[in-house]
Amino acid sequence: MARIDFGGVIEDVVTSEEFPLEKAREILANETVAVLGYGVQGPAQSLNMRDNGIKVIVGQRKEEKIFWDKAINDGFKPGETLFSLEDAAEQGTIIQMLISDAGQMAAWPKLKGHLKEGDALYFSHGFSIVYKDQTKVIPPDNVDVILVAPKGSGTTVRSNFLEGKGINASYAIFRDFTGRAKERTLAVGIAIGSGYLFPTTFEKEVYSDLTGERGVLMGCLAGVMEAQYAILRKHGHSPSEAFNETVEELTQSLIRLVAENGMDWMYANCSTTAQRGALDWRHRFRDAVTPLFEELYKSVVSGEETRIVLEANMAPDYRERLQKELGEIRLSEMWRAGATVRSLRPERRKEV
């Protein structure tokens, strides 16, 4: 375990240098990893492990044809490496619960009886365990309960792996029944393609994740983009200009500089006019949204956000309402302008 200085705070992290893939293979040599759910994280984690020489089977409801067929197209064979959720859980020794959070709650009554003494129940999100009063997901006492949470979408987990890059991930141990929970956790973390793993708890993982998704990563980002675009349009700017100044320059230029070199470097390498304005206005934006983030965090910790998610996902018309909400975004002027802007990028024109 390496001790790394993160801006003055020392953290213990695990990298692939000190925990190489060969060690992960040795630890998992007699394990069968059953990946339950072939939707978001399932394909990436299962394919990365399979490519790394780990024995992987997939559990997926056949009725969800799009995901069942995707697993088949990715080389998993019905009756050999592709099974129902229950059959995969029965065969697995490390059972990865990668079904949606609401789906885990619905499937748990049928799955819990297939856990055997000494198995490891693996999550990539602390949701079901931390909010067990709502989800009713309460593992038996004779299994390890572990977590590896990649800090990115399943698409990124897979694409980074194929490019020879890692993706950062957190890990946590909720219960160590076998005495091997940590080595199993780290082995799977390396096998799914983590660049480095940092320790957390189930509680901290889910609190930070739910806050991040609703905040900077998605909810806040979408909201502030919509606000700036609307103001520019209100004052007579064209859709193309408003979109380019709001989204395109951020995603195609500036955020890449931040990712590669940090915010200070990006500021230092912009025009002095942009630099001065950004340095002055960042404080006002920070102060304006801090109370909202505090409200958001409290809503997460209290379980209110979880209640909303579970209630919405269990509604019979949820998918129809979801498509309507997504359609409102897709059909808005801002994102219709975005589709046009993307089509005009040089690489897209070459493809056409």
Q: What is the pLDDT of residues 101-122, one digit of tens each?
A: 999 999 999 999 999 999 999 9
Same domain, 258 and 289: yes
Same domain, 170 and 82: yes
Q: What is the pLDDT of residues 75-103, one digit of tens each?
A: 999 999 999 999 999 999 999 999 999 99
The CATH number that applies at residue 8 is 3.40.50.720
Instruction: Tell me if 46 sits within 8 A of 59, measured CB to CB.
Output: no
Q: How sure is the predictor about 347, in pLDDT bands with cuts at 50, 70 and 90?
A: low
Instruction: Tell me if 72 sits within 8 A of 49, measured CB to CB.
Output: no
Treating both helix axes as pointing N-terminal to C-terminal, what angle do 318-330 and 333-343 enclose, rounded to 10 degrees? 70
At 349 the pLDDT is 45
Q: What percent of the chain has pLDDT over 90?
A: 84
Does 155 reside within a domain?
yes
Other CB atoms within 10 A of residue 129 CB: 24
How many domains, the chain? 2
Closest CA to 312 of 52, 48, 105: 105
Helix/strand/coil for 172? strand
Asked if pLDDT for residue 350 goes beyond 80, the answer is no
Asked if pLDDT for residue 20 goes beyond 60, the answer is yes
Q: Indicate the range of 61-70, 180-189, 310-319, 341-350 predicted with least confidence.
A: 341-350
Q: What is the reported pTM?
A: 0.89
- The span from the CA of 1 to the CA of 15, in Å, is 7
Does 153 reside within a domain?
yes
Same domain, 154 and 246: no
Q: Which of 125, 235, 237, 283 is catalytic?
A: 125
Q: What is the pLDDT of residues 178-236, one digit of tens each?
A: 999 999 999 999 999 998 899 999 999 999 999 999 999 999 999 999 999 999 999 99
Q: Which two tokens stand for residue 214?
A: 């609703």
- The span from the CA of 13 to the CA of 166, in Å, is 14
Domain that holds residue 19: 2-200
At 352 the pLDDT is 37
Q: Which amino acid is at 131?
A: Y
Same domain, 196 and 226: no
Same domain, 178 and 258: no
At 79 the pLDDT is 96
**pLDDT mean across residues, the chain:** 93
Same domain, 127 and 264: no
| 237 is an active site residue | no
Q: Which two tokens stand for residue 275?
A: 């630099």
Other CB atoms within 10 A of residue 270 CB: 16
Which residues lie across from 3 on neighbouring strands?
12
Q: What percent of the chain has pLDDT over 70?
A: 98
- The span from the CA of 76 to the CA of 161, in Å, is 19
Q: Please, which residues have CB within 8 angstroms of residue 76's CB and are 6 or more apart in sequence?
A: 46, 57, 58, 82
- The span from the CA of 110 to the CA of 126, in Å, is 20
What single-letter DSSP state applies at residue 254? Answer: I
Q: Indicate the range of 7-11, 140-144, 147-151, 221-225 predicted with least confidence.
A: 7-11
